[in-house]
Amino acid sequence: MERSRGLKNPSVEEKRLELESKMALLEAEEKVHDECHRQRMEEVRARIHKIEQENDSMSKRIAELKDPTRPTREALRDRPKELRAYGHLTLDEAIDKVHDKNLRLQKQINALNAKKKTEKEKMKQDVSRPAAVRQKEKSRRSELEEKLEKKQLECEELRRVYAEEKRLTQQAKESTLTLENQMIEMEKKVQKKREDVEALKSGLSTAQHLKKQELAKLDKMQKHSKEQEEKIDNLKKKLQELKDHNQELERQHLRSAQQKAEEDSKGPSPRTADEEEEIALRETCLKLMRVTGAARVTDLAKCFAAQKERLQRLEDEVKEKMKMPRQPMKEDLFQKLQDMKVIRVAEKVSSDKKTQVKVSKQLVQSVQREPKLETLYRLRLEGLADRLKHIKLPEDRAVEVSPDSEDYLSALKTECDLKMQILRQRFEGKDIDAIQKRMEESNFLAYLEKEKQEANLSALPQDESLDDFEVLDDSAEDDPDILTREQLKAQSQKIVDSHSKRRQWQKKKGK
């Protein structure tokens, strides 16, 4: 158990450093995202302010259109005399007032006609009267005729005014209908502007909610980083304890060897306290030989020496990782991510799942030393072969070996190498960037559809990055808190891909 933890220290330290570099990248990305978000918020606020101004102007115009005296003023715009008389009234009130005036004029006309008729009858009756009376009546009649002519002219003028008032009333009614239609259209526009404002406000609230989610994710990442640092400190302490224990065992072994040599040289003697201690040390040595499976003391010494060298090498690697600058690690991680993206593009084109080539020379060398690493290597190699099983090899190059055979791993590795070579030949000369761009567009459409469904259900988008650090390899059953190098790389790639897709979606949405 302690040996397996000691072997995983380089992966844990590298995981911590990769997490620090990833955190730096995420902080830079968060700053860019906040800047873009701030610019968008300013644009949205400016747009909302503009729409509010337009809404105020529309409201003022609607208030003017709803003024009841406006149709009257529009109808009498070319008649200043009537405008002064009826401009302060509504259209119905002005029409009623003109109608009353026309009725009064009509009554006056009827009265004059009746008076004229009465005068004519009197004139017929007075034909037989004396000349003086007739002359007097004649002068009076001429005066009345003059008055009648004046009244007739006034009546004609009133009829003309009445006809003009009718025409103006009709025009006012038509203009009222037109104004009502305009008011309806203006109300529709105002309603549309209000809906736009509500949509912008909802978009603003959604953006603020997404920002809060991103901040919560960042806090979780920081907490996880602190936990990983605590685990690294604990592993360092365990490594130091293991080293001290190894040195103590080595000293005991040397003392036991020296005492045995002295005993052989001196011959048998009565048991003393030193001899009792020597016997106890021998029993301890025998127990260690049974535990380690060593047949001789020299094998046990070699085992301790190998363990000491391994611990020294692990300690040196930890120190080198601590001294390594962040920039080369960042470039190395970026290069590895690019390689993994190219491999993923190749797998997408062949209509297969994602494949990750995780076999390296360092893992092959570790297989020869540790059975646990051999099991891990076997599992990873079988997983790679399963992902590449859709690629058929020629009959002359096919490799068929029993899984129980000793040459099974080497044969399986040869088969995977041949299939990877065929895969590289298929994509040789093709534009990998164009293929990757099409893949990213398809991934974006799938992501957008998923976001749309989740928005319709009023559910928050699932945080795929929360469980990334909870996935452990089957080979780490002895110590589930420690992640291997390959797991850390895969999880880092998932996080970077998820953030890049989210950033692309936000940019396209902003456009």
Q: Which domain holds residue 422?
A: 344-430
On whether residue 369 sits in a domain, the answer given is yes
On whether residue 35 sits in a domain, the answer given is no
On whether residue 494 sits in a domain, the answer given is no
On whether residue 435 sits in a domain, the answer given is no
Residue pair 384/419 in contact by the 8 Å Cβ criterion: no
Task: Provide the residue-wise pLDDT of the chain in tens; the chain has 511 residues.
Answer: 444 444 445 578 888 888 888 888 888 888 888 888 888 888 888 888 888 888 888 888 777 777 777 777 777 778 778 777 777 777 778 888 888 888 888 888 888 888 888 888 877 776 655 666 667 777 888 888 888 888 888 878 878 877 877 787 777 777 667 767 777 777 787 788 778 778 777 777 776 777 777 778 777 777 876 777 787 777 777 777 777 776 777 677 677 767 766 666 655 445 566 666 666 666 666 666 666 666 666 666 777 777 667 767 766 766 665 555 444 555 665 565 556 555 555 455 444 444 444 444 554 454 455 556 567 677 777 877 777 777 777 766 666 666 666 677 778 788 888 887 887 777 777 776 777 677 666 666 666 566 556 655 544 444 443 344 343 344 444 444 445 556 666 766 666 666 565 555 555 555 4
On whether residue 356 sits in a domain, the answer given is yes
d(CA 233, CA 214): 29
On whether residue 406 sits in a domain, the answer given is yes
On whether residue 372 sits in a domain, the answer given is yes
Other Cβ atoms less than 10 A from the Cβ of 511: the count is: 5
> φ and ψ at 354, to 5 degrees?
-65, 140
87, HSE (Cβ side, Cα atoms, 13 Å): 11
CA dihedral 504, 509, 510, 511 (to 10 degrees): 90
Count of domains for the chain:
1
d(CA 222, CA 219): 5
